[in-house]
Structures are given as C-alpha cells and as structure tokens.
Amino acid sequence: MERISWHQYFMAQSHLLALRSTCTRLMVGATIVRDKRIIAGGYNGSISGGTHCSDEGCYLIEDHCVRTVHAEINAILQCAKFGVPAEGAEIYVTHFPCLNCCKSLIQAGIKKVFYAQDYKNHEFAIELFQQADVMVEQVELEEMILDTQNKEKLSFTADLLSKLEKQGLGGDEIRALKDEANRLYTSSS
C-alpha cells in the first residue's frame, strides 16, 4: 500500500477540521505545521460558548458573516494560547485565505500557505503574500483520501433509487441496489 503524501495528509486534516465548523455558509479548516508535525488546527466558528451560525443563522454585515472567527485565526490563536510559536511554520487551509487572514498569517510568521480551493482570492492578498515572501500553493485534496461530499452523494443515490422504484424497477432489483448502496456508504464512513 502506498502512503499518502505529506501535502495530502495535512490537507485531509484541514478538511476534517472543517467538519467541526458551525458556519452554515462555508466550512473551512486550517492546520499549522512545522517540521512535518501538526502544531495547531482551527475551523471557522463562533467564539467559545457563543451563539453559532448553525443555531441562529449567520450574522451578515456587507455580505460577510461577522459571527465567526476564521479557521486560520483560530489556528494562530491556538498557537498563542498554548505558547507554540508559528514563526516559520506552514499552514494548510481548505480555502484560499481572505484578506484579513492573509495579513494575520504574515504577521504570525507563517512562511508557506497551501490551500485546496480557490475562494474569492483577493488580488491584494496575493500581492501581500508576495511582498512578505510567503510561498502560496494550491494543493487540492484527492477525493479518494477523504470524501468531502458524502452527504450529497448519499442524497443523490437515494433520489435516484426512489426514481427507479417509481419507474417500475422490480422489488428484488431495487432491493439489491439499495443493499449495495448501503454497503458502499456504510463501509466508507
């Protein structure tokens, strides 16, 4: 069996962290790494003990949710809280950092930013990363490593099977397809 690359390992960790997000608009995860060791992680969510977007909806100002603390900031704050320097570290983020996160990453001393998905990549953020000599590279998560769309696939499969049943597919055939779908989805979770 071939081991996954370091990039895929840390990016998968960021995607797992994103699953803890309480923001209903965009789930983001971030992992700070030094010398191939995870030193901190974060996801976007409300302040500790605060009201979450998943509870009461996003609090939008100028089309931006101000209820959440971004994943990158939470990861940097975790370093600060536990006295772990971020200077010279790398960060793996599920989405391209926003402008404020970009500035915070630079100020924290992060030297490499790896992100999986483009997301409103701000031109000034790109410029600031270049000015600060921060390497930025897109590293997409290979789907086979971590299925980030399992719920959507499950829903699609259920809808498809329902439509086949309504179209008159026989009882034994539809039951066999449902059993196979259940086997596939339960073995991957």
| C-beta separation of 104 from 50 below 8 A | no
Rounded CA gap, 33 and 92, in Å?
8
Catalytic residue among 2, 56, 72, 180: 72
Chain-centroid distance, C-alpha 159: 26
Residue for token pair 């399992």: 150
> Quick one: tokens of 134?
């921060």
| C-beta separation of 62 from 84 below 8 A | no
What is the helix (H) or strand (E) element at residue 91, kind and residue range?
strand 90-95
C-alpha pair distances (Å), 75 with each of 93, 137, 157: 10, 19, 36
Active site residue 2: no
Rounded CA gap, 172 and 158, in Å?
16
Q: Going along the chain, which residue ranges are E strands?
A: 29-34, 37-43, 60-61, 64-65, 90-95, 112-117, 135-138
Neighbours of 157 (CB within 10 A): 17
Question: What is the set of active-site residues?
Answer: 72
